Amino acid sequence: MQRGKRFTAFFAILFAISFGGHAWAQQTIKVAYTDPLSGPFAQVGDANLKQMQYIIDYINAKGGALGKKFELVPFDNKSQPSDALLALKSATDQNMPFIMQCSGSNIAAALIDAVNKHNERNPDNRIIYLNCGAVATELTNEQCSFWHFRFDLHVGMKAEVMVRALPKEVTKVYLINQDYLFGQSVQRDVKTFLAKLRPDVQVVGDELIPLGKIKDFSPYITKIKASGAQALLTGNWGPDMNLLIKAGVDAGADLRYYTFYAHLAGGPTAIGVGGENRVLAVMSFGENVAPEIGNTEAEAFTKAFRDKHKFDFSAAGFRTIFEYLQAAVNKAGAVDATKIAFAMEDLTIKDFLGFETKMRKDDHQLISEYFVGTFKKGVKYDAEGTGLGWAMTATILAKDVDQPNSCKMKRPTGA
Amino acid sequence: MEVFVVSLLNGLVYGMLLFMLASGLTLILSMMGVLNFAHASAYMLGAYFAYTISLYIGFWPALIVAPLLCGLIGAGLEMWGLRRVHRNGHIAELLFTFGLALIIEKGVQMTWGLLPVPYRVPELLDFPLFRVYGTQFPAYRAFMLVISALMFGAIWLALTRTRIGLVIQAALTHPDMASALGHNVPRIFTLVFAAGTALAGLAGVIGGNYQVTEPAMAFTMGPIVFVVVVFGGLGSLSGCFIASILMGLIQTFAVVFDVSLADLLSKFGFVVTSSTPFAELLTVTLPRVGALLPFLMMVLILVFRPRGLMGTRDT
């Protein structure tokens, strides 16, 4: 009898949970988010997740879209394409309209392919892939897809910004990049823009390193020094970036570091005081942007995150993503992937800093402003409690990063 | 020349760090036959403990306290965990330590977070000791060399010149006989396991601020330590020492030499073009495969000399 009662109670609870969950699902717009939440690159995924959650709370407080709230559903992909595809499967099984992924262009390439196939086979259960940081140039060119929207500048654009930021006196540069789709993309594009914009610059070293395997970069620094390079240009991210600059600073190498990701979580801590005025980052946002341009509202928004969490707010781009989603869902008038995708095309939004941004229709690449930050003392907001922070040394407007593309997009018919 | 000297120094530092980690593992593996997957986790714990302790009472006390804490944890694990599991054979032990490594990693993530912690070199040692051809050699690296050399000396003395060392050596080569002669072999096991874990902890204390203290540090350091142990040979501290230095130097020098198999072949008058079979493989440069070299060497030594460089028993 006792046993029977327990069983009944158990099933009652189970029923309540599943029913409750179902009811909840009806009220929210679910966004699957897949990135490394464990393994060597866990710090990157974790930092993204916290910032996204903060932004979603804000967007929801502003009314969400169509009266529904956004809900983030995280899936760990351990930096593996296969795990990301499992996440996609779970997302489509639960009829989620969006999947978001930031880290790893190889994973992004696999996701684009899988999303294309899925959407072709399941016209009434389609999903949009929101790319929040996989930036290999190919993804919106040769591999472009109607279902893929990229919200960060691609490598070609970032490389142009980086090359333009090189001062006149630098004539010898060394390239180090990670040996996979993204790193190779950086390697190629940086060299292209060097040849085009700075023919006086000589590439004295050009190297690919295995992704996330190297613990001590001192040997590389020795080699870079021996090559006579004045600047190191790298697209490395995560530990590959942090350890590289740390080794350079420790060896007292007289180098400038031009990076894409030195400002992200963990970077400033690893660089330390020794990197003052040496490290530059091509970034979508920095905490000192708002005070420098005098936008108090944006400053308050970032400061609130800083006060709540132990690390810095670097992901203004994520807020732009959700503002696009909010606008596109409202414009589409329904939570329907196909309608939302069409609504997103050529959408323009003023981002929270007050700059114009646009989602290009022909390749689904966001065009937004970009910044070059220098790591130095005496800024309003320091990074990770190091006493140093990112001072904006250049601001590049959206219209100036607008590069042509080679995308031949296939649009869904009969939608 | 410049590159050679600087790389030599860097290789030595890395090799000595490897040795501190591997020496404990080699003792544990050769004595107890336990392939301790959680060994690198002790390295990570050492670094995190040292970070936390140094926040309150400074780096120098942490240098002593953190390894001791690791040793205590090791002793506890051996007495209440491994010893029970031991009855079910080696596979069970292996799985036990494997699970432990995952649990420790998750525990560290939950306690200290996923981000690297700002564990820094103490200010006393934060200056360039000397310059070789314009490259600074940080004093801290010299300090690491000194600590690991001292440790090597201490273990060697303890193993060869003390009574407990003699018993350990006996138990290393003839565990059953040592037990039959009335020595408390389980207690020696606990001692060795604790000492091995403490050594890994010490390596963590001085390696954590040399590299970066983050939850993935055990995962990245683990495999290479196994390579060192297998390569050096079971039951041989000197083999382990040689293997560590060798691996440190190989990994350092592999980065510096921009050569590929194609370059080697061209010395013999064989020119590789893009139409040559396996051209992609042949033109991969050494730095790109540098991280793989130790594993390649492990495979080779397992095939041609299964007992390792100076091992006394087959692996």
Q: What is the CATH number of the domain that holds A208?
A: 3.40.50.2300
Which of A38, A207, A219 minimises the CB distance to B10?
A219
Q: How far apart are CA B310 and CA A231, in angstroms?
A: 45
Residue A386 lies in a domain: no
Q: Which domain holds residue A189?
A: 156-283
Q: Where are the alpha helices (DSSP H) in chain B?
A: 2-32, 39-57, 59-77, 83-86, 90-112, 139-161, 163-173, 175-180, 185-208, 217-232, 237-256, 261-267, 279-282, 286-289, 293-304
Residue B277 lies in a domain: no
Residues of A in contact with B51 (CB under 8 A): none
Residue A247 lies in a domain: yes
Q: State residue A367 phi and psi, 5-degree precision.
A: -110, 120
Encoding tokens for residue A117?
Answer: 């196939």
| Nearest chain A Cα distance for residue B173, angstroms | 35
Mean residue pLDDT of chain B comes to 86
Contact B288 A47 (CB under 8 A): no
Which residue, A353, A368, A383, sits at the end of a domain? A368
Q: Are residues A184 and A322 in the same domain?
A: no
Q: What is residue A1's predicted lDDT score, i.e. its pLDDT?
A: 45
Residue A401 lies in a domain: no
Bridge-based pairing state of the strands A370-377 and A279-283: antiparallel
Q: How far apart are CA A332 and CA B40, in angstroms?
A: 53
Please write the tens of the pLDDT for every residue from B44-70: 999 999 999 999 998 999 999 999 999
Residues of A in contact with B129 (CB under 8 A): none
Which of A40, A226, A246 minimises the CB distance to B216?
A40
Position B275: which residue type? S
Angle between helices B90-112 and B39-57 (to 10 degrees): 30
**pLDDT below 50 — which residues of chain B?**
315
Q: Are residues A200 and A230 in the same domain?
A: yes
Q: List the pLDDT tens digit at each of the 415 positions of chain A.
A: 455 566 566 565 555 555 444 444 457 899 999 999 877 788 788 889 999 999 999 999 988 888 899 999 999 998 899 999 999 999 999 999 999 999 889 999 999 999 999 999 998 899 999 999 899 999 999 999 999 999 999 999 999 999 988 998 999 999 999 988 899 999 999 999 999 999 999 999 898 888 877 877 888 998 898 888 999 999 998 888 988 998 888 888 889 999 999 988 778 888 888 888 999 999 988 889 888 888 898 999 998 998 888 778 888 889 999 999 999 999 999 899 999 999 999 999 998 888 999 999 999 999 999 999 999 998 888 888 888 999 988 888 888 888 889 999 988 875 4
Please count the structural domains in chain B.
1
The residue behind tokens 């040399």 is B210
Residue B265 lies in a domain: no
Bridge-based pairing state of the strands A128-131 and A148-150: parallel
Residue A412 lies in a domain: no
Q: Are residues A300 and A167 in the same domain?
A: no
Contact B116 A270 (CB under 8 A): yes
Q: Which domain holds residue B97?
A: 2-215+244-259
Contact B256 A219 (CB under 8 A): yes
Residues of A in contact with B131 (CB under 8 A): 252
Q: What is residue B188's predicted lDDT score, i.e. its pLDDT?
A: 86
Q: How far apart are CA B238 and CA B241, in angstroms?
A: 5
A189-201 in b/e burial notation, b at 16+ Cβ within 10 A? bbbebbeeebeeb
The residue behind tokens 């684009």 is A112
Residue B73 lies in a domain: yes
Please write the tens of the pLDDT for every residue from B269-300: 777 777 777 777 777 777 777 778 888 888 99
State the Rg of chain A over Cα: 22
Which of B118, B128, B255 minimises the CB distance to A223?
B255
Residue B310 lies in a domain: no
Cβ-contact A117, A92 below 8 angstroms: no
Residue B238 lies in a domain: no
Q: Are residues A180 and A143 in the same domain?
A: no
Residue A182 lies in a domain: yes
Q: What is residue A172's predicted lDDT score, i.e. its pLDDT?
A: 94
Report in angstroms the alpha-carbon separations of A24 from A19, A287, A326, B27, B50. Answer: 9, 35, 19, 56, 46
Q: What is residue A264's predicted lDDT score, i.e. its pLDDT?
A: 84
* Interface predicted TM-score (ipTM) over 0.90: no
Q: Where are the alpha helices (DSSP H) in A94-180?
A: 105-121, 155-165
Q: How far apart are CA B20 and CA B36, in angstroms?
A: 15
Residue A382 lies in a domain: no
Encoding tokens for residue B8?
Answer: 């030599």
Q: How far apart are CA B303 and CA B296, in angstroms?
A: 11
Report in angstroms the alpha-carbon separations of A33 from A87, A101, A146. Answer: 8, 6, 19
Evaluate if pTM is beyond 0.80: no
Query: Interior CA angle at A136 toward A132 and A142, to 5°?
Result: 110
Bridge-based pairing state of the strands A370-377 and A388-396: antiparallel
Q: Are residues A54 and A187 in the same domain?
A: no
Q: Are residues A175 and A145 in the same domain?
A: no
* Residue in B closest to A39 by C-alpha: B216
Residue A5 lies in a domain: yes
Q: Are residues A125 and A190 in the same domain?
A: no
Residue A238 lies in a domain: yes
Length of chain A: 415
Q: Are residues A229 and A142 in the same domain?
A: no
DSSP one-letter code for A410: P
Q: How far apart are CA A11 and CA A5, in angstroms?
A: 10
Q: How far apart are CA A31 and CA A87, in angstroms?
A: 11
Q: What is residue A24's predicted lDDT score, i.e. its pLDDT?
A: 45
Residue B306 lies in a domain: no
The residue behind tokens 């000589």 is A202
Please count the structural domains in chain A.
2
Q: What is residue A113's predicted lDDT score, i.e. its pLDDT?
A: 94
Q: What is residue B314's predicted lDDT score, i.e. its pLDDT?
A: 57
Q: How far apart are the first and last CA of chain A?
A: 57
Q: Are residues A47 and A125 in the same domain?
A: yes
Q: Are residues A247 and A337 in the same domain?
A: no
Q: How far apart are CA A156 and CA A406, in angstroms?
A: 13
Q: Are residues A299 and A234 in the same domain?
A: no
